[in-house]
């Protein structure tokens, strides 16, 4: 089966989502920041594996 890539709009939406999540994590401190960043990394890894 042939895989389909993202459209430019889909990719831009993904990047906006990622920026929003990183900005949210940047505002946190300590353990909470680490947990949010770890969640972002896990979500990105899962996206690559799907």
Q: Is residue 39 part of a domain?
A: yes
Q: What is the pTM of this model?
A: 0.74
pLDDT digits (tens, 9 = 90+) for 3-37: 678 899 999 999 999 999 999 999 999 999 999 99
Q: 48 or 40, which is more confident? A: 40
Q: Is residue 45 part of a domain?
A: yes
Tokens at 26, concatenated? 């940047």
Neighbours of 17 (CB within 10 A): 12
Closest to 37 (Cα-Cα) out of 47, 45, 27, 25 = 25
Q: Is residue 1 part of a domain?
A: no
Q: How many domains does the chain have?
A: 1
- Could you give the CA distance from residue 6 to residue 47 in angstroms, rounded to a whole number? 12
8-26 and 30-49 are packed helices; what angle lies between their axes, rounded to 10 degrees? 160
């Amino acid at each position: 089966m042939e895989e389909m890539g993202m459209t430019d709009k889909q990719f831009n939406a993904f990047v906006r989502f990622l920026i929003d999540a990183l900005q949210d994590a940047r505002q946190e401190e300590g353990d909470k920041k680490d947990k949010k960043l770890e969640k972002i990394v896990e979500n990105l890894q899962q996206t690559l594996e799907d």
